[in-house]
Amino acid sequence: MDKVELRFLRITYSHTHAGAYALILSELEGDRRLPIIIGGVEAQAIAIQVENIKPARPLTHDLFKNVADTLGITLKEVIINDLVEGIFHAKLVLDQNGHEVEIDARSSDAIALALRFDCPIHTYEFILSAAGLKVEEGEEEAEESKTTAKAEKKAASMTIEELRSKLEEALDNEDYERASKIRDEIKKREGTN
């Protein structure tokens, strides 16, 4: 089967599933996107890695990486290998001293680990053909611009103290994606003062 390499593109709120997020992977050499619906906890596990937020204690995926590093296990690649009734399945391809093992995983966990191990993410052409979306040139940038403009307008109306309060609230709720955006706005304002 033909494998296609993917890269992490972003996480966004799902417009079709209330309370869920869409993990968007992009074809490395092409213009198709693979959206995977994931829950809030899974989105946070990915977002804190992407945003380079360091939690006080290791989260589950960080713990897995620490154990693997200690035992000399390398995550060689992640493969999104099946699509059953709208659910993506994945496998981890691990290597320990030349011994390769494949382990079944949820796609969200597999991606969270791929980002921590900085390893390739693949899928098969039949999955990308069935579930991939072709993005027209300029369409993606326009959507991102609208979302960013809305968030910036709301943040601009808050004082630094209000932003710090919102940051604490986001951290207390373990909403690391939101926390990183608030942190960036605070840094931007403090840098201009």
Q: Is there a single domain that holds both residue 57 and residue 16?
A: yes
Residue 92 and residue 9 in one domain: yes
Asked if 28 and 6 touch (Cβ cutoff 8 Å), the reply is yes
Residue 90 binned pLDDT confidence (cut-offs 50, 70, 90): very high
User: For residue range 118-174, what is the model confidence (pLDDT) as tens digits?
Assistant: 999 999 999 999 999 987 655 554 444 444 455 555 666 778 887 788 777 777 666
- Same domain, yes or no, for 79 and 152? no
In this structure, the answer to whether residues 76 and 100 fall within a common structural domain is: yes
Give the structural domain span for 12.
3-134
Q: DSSP secondary-structure letter at 136?
A: P
Span 54-67, pLDDT tens digits: 888 999 999 999 99
How many structural domains does the chain have?
2
CATH at 20: 3.10.690.10
117 φ/ψ sector (left φ>0, alpha ψ -120 to 50, else beta): alpha
Side chain identity at residue 59, one-letter code: L
pLDDT in tens, 172-192: 666 666 777 778 778 778 875
